[in-house]
């Protein structure tokens, strides 16, 4: 198959019609996970624990075994028991994939090695000459990879602000194939109206791709808002324990599902059995963890908001956040990331970063332990200074990944560090 798009607009139109019907069905079933294959119609919380997981057939182990095997013995010539080689499929990986598909409410999930390999794999849907519109406020690694793809493979990337959905219309032409959305953004927690952008994308037969890493499917479900593909860095909230790097790609249309599975097998970007087992185990506590992350993040944001040394707090849960209403409409919660601008320069920033005892100085996010980092010199250091400042990420911005420790201890730690 040369390209997903060889069928042109008719192919996309028919898959969108089908998707719309399924989206409507899901809508009327309330906040339950349901997908076309009928993997599950349990509540989201029950699915985090049970979807895709069945007691092991060999010994009845309640936890999914780690099938750490590269190959599988055939029963007879031309006959295997569902798996032949781990790059093409693995029972532990399949359990995670079925679980993820149930949580996002879609027909297909493929587990890959990292969030970046999810992005790289999805970009193989396109070919030389195609164009993709991407939020200019995306994860630094995504921006770096898309720019490299643009240089090497002649796929033009338009990095633009998607905060004004209508603004994308000016960048759509007959070569445009997709729009890449990431919301909330990192580190400033700006939001994109997913339903508004995907509606415009649909009108122009573009694929809508949403990076849902920051909120996890518990707080945001992009397929309900018109997305065609969702990607995750499972490294973050889905796994939640800072002990694995992983990624996932999800879709909800048979042609796309098959193409993505084909690409993961062809490229070899599939996740390893042990990593899948860790992520699957992490997901079992996704709901209680996300509730605690959010409760603590609100407490931390309120504390910072009232602190004299803090110039500005970025948290969609604050009524003062410029997109607070959108956050309430499209998200089920506000998440566990809080950023703020310290009233001070380099010396004060360094002092603060050295002074926290509980908040560890580290990149990444979404783990049970709290982290503090300085985007200008750490997570966003690869961004050139001008671009970074234009995006509003000045040298005084600090980012917190609020963990699930006792919130009193977290506030006390920030209070003493800011004293």
Catalytic site positions? 87, 139, 211, 236
CA 339 – CA 34 distance, rounded (Å): 34
182, 257, 373, 413: which one contacts ligand PLP (CB under 6 A)? 182
Tokens 């707080």 found at: 219
* Region near ligand PLP per CB under 6 A, out of 146-154, 169-177, 206-214, 342-350: 206-214
90, 235, 251, 323: which one contacts ligand PLP (CB under 6 A)? 235
139, 237, 303, 359: which one contacts ligand PLP (CB under 6 A)? 139
The torsion angle over the Cα atoms of residues 303, 309, 314 and 318, rounded to 10 degrees, is 40
298 binds ligand PLP (CB under 6 A): no
* Region near ligand PLP per CB under 6 A, out of 20-28, 96-104, 231-239, 333-341: 231-239
Residues β-bridged to residue 230: 210, 250
- For residues 370 and 389, is the Cβ–Cβ distance under 8 A? no
Smallest CA-to-CA distance from 65 within 78, 74, 56 is with 56
Residue number, 147 or 154, with CB nearest to ligand PLP: 147
CA 206 – CA 182 distance, rounded (Å): 16
90, 107, 114, 272: which one contacts ligand PLP (CB under 6 A)? 114
Residue number, 245 or 283, with CB nearest to ligand PLP: 245
Residue number, 143 or 200, with CB nearest to ligand PLP: 143
The token pair at 322 is 């410029």
236 binds ligand PLP (CB under 6 A): yes
Q: Classify 4 as helix, strand or coil.
A: helix
208 binds ligand PLP (CB under 6 A): no
Residues β-bridged to residue 76: 79
102, 116, 179, 278: which one contacts ligand PLP (CB under 6 A)? 116
Question: Pattern 239-268, binding to ligand PLP, x per CB under 6 A?
Answer: ------x-x---------------------
CA 285 – CA 234 distance, rounded (Å): 14
Residue number, 235 or 272, with CB nearest to ligand PLP: 235
335 binds ligand PLP (CB under 6 A): no
135 binds ligand PLP (CB under 6 A): no
CB of 401 to ligand PLP, least distance (A): 10
CA 89 – CA 83 distance, rounded (Å): 6
- For residues 154 and 128, is the Cβ–Cβ distance under 8 A? yes
Residue 374: half-sphere exposure toward Cβ, Cα within 13 Å = 17
115 binds ligand PLP (CB under 6 A): yes
Smallest CA-to-CA distance from 115 within 234, 219, 214 is with 234
Tokens 């690869």 found at: 382
* Region near ligand PLP per CB under 6 A, out of 34-42, 211-219, 274-282, 301-309: 211-219
Residue number, 141 or 392, with CB nearest to ligand PLP: 141
DSSP string over 278-293: HHHHHHTTHHHHHHHH
CA 2 – CA 126 distance, rounded (Å): 10
47, 130, 131, 211: which one contacts ligand PLP (CB under 6 A)? 211
Query: Judged by CB under 6 A, how many residues of this single chain contact ligand PLP?
Result: 16
Residue number of the CB closest to ligand PLP reads 115
Residue number, 114 or 269, with CB nearest to ligand PLP: 114
CB of 20 to ligand PLP, least distance (A): 27
CA 84 – CA 88 distance, rounded (Å): 7
- For residues 49 and 40, is the Cβ–Cβ distance under 8 A? no
233, 296, 323, 396: which one contacts ligand PLP (CB under 6 A)? 233
The token pair at 404 is 């699930």
Positions touching ligand PLP (CB under 6 A) are 114-116, 139, 141-142, 182, 186, 211, 213-214, 233, 235-236, 245, 247
């Amino acid at each position: 198959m040369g390209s997903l798009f060889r069928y042109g607009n008719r192919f996309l139109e028919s898959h969108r019609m089908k998707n719309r019907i399924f989206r409507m069905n899901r809508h009327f079933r309330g906040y339950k996970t349901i997908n076309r294959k009928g993997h599950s119609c349990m509540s989201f919380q029950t699915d985090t624990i049970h979807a895709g997981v069945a007691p092991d057939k060999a010994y009845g182990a309640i936890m999914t075994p780690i099938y750490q095997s590269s190959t599988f013995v055939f029963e007879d010539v031309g006959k295997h028991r569902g798996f032949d080689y781990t790059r093409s499929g693995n029972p532990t990986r399949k359990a995670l994939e079925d679980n993820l598909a149930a949580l996002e409410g879609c027909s297909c999930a493929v587990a890959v090695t990292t969030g970046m390999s999810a992005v790289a794999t999805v970009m193989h849907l396109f070919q030389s000459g195609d164009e993709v519109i991407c939020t200019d406020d995306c994860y630094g690694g995504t921006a770096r990879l898309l720019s490299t793809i643009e240089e090497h493979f002649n796929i033009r990337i338009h990095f633009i602000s998607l905060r004004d959905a209508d603004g994308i219309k000016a960048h759509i032409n007959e070569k445009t194939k997709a729009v890449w959305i990431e919301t909330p953004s990192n580190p400033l927690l700006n939001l994109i109206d997913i339903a508004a952008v995907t509606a415009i994308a649909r009108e122009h037969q573009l694929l809508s791709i949403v990076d849902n890493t920051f909120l996890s499917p518990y707080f945001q479900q992009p397929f309900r808002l018109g997305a065609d593909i969702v990607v995750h860095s499972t490294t973050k909230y889905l796994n939640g324990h800072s002990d694995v790097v992983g990624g996932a790609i999800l879709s909800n249309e048979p042609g796309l599902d098959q193409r993505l599975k084909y690409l993961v097998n062809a490229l070899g970007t599939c996740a390893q059995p042990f990593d899948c087992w860790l992520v699957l185990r992490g997901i079992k506590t996704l709901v209680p963890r996300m509730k605690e992350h959010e409760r603590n993040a609100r407490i931390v944001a309120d504390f910072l908001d009232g602190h004299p040394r803090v110039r500005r707090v970025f948290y969609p849960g604050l009524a003062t956040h410029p997109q607070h209403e959108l956050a309430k409409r499209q998200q089920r919660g506000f998440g566990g990331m809080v950023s703020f601008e310290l009233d001070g320069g380099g010396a004060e920033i360094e002092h603060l970063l050295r002074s926290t005892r509980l908040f560890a100085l580290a990149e990444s996010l979404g783990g049970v332990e709290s982290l503090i980092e300085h985007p200008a010199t750490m997570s966003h250091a690869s961004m050139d200074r001008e671009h970074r400042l234009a995006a509003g990420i000045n040298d005084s911005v600090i980012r917190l990944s609020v963990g699930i420790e006792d919130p009193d201890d977290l506030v006390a730690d920030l209070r003493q560090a800011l004293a």
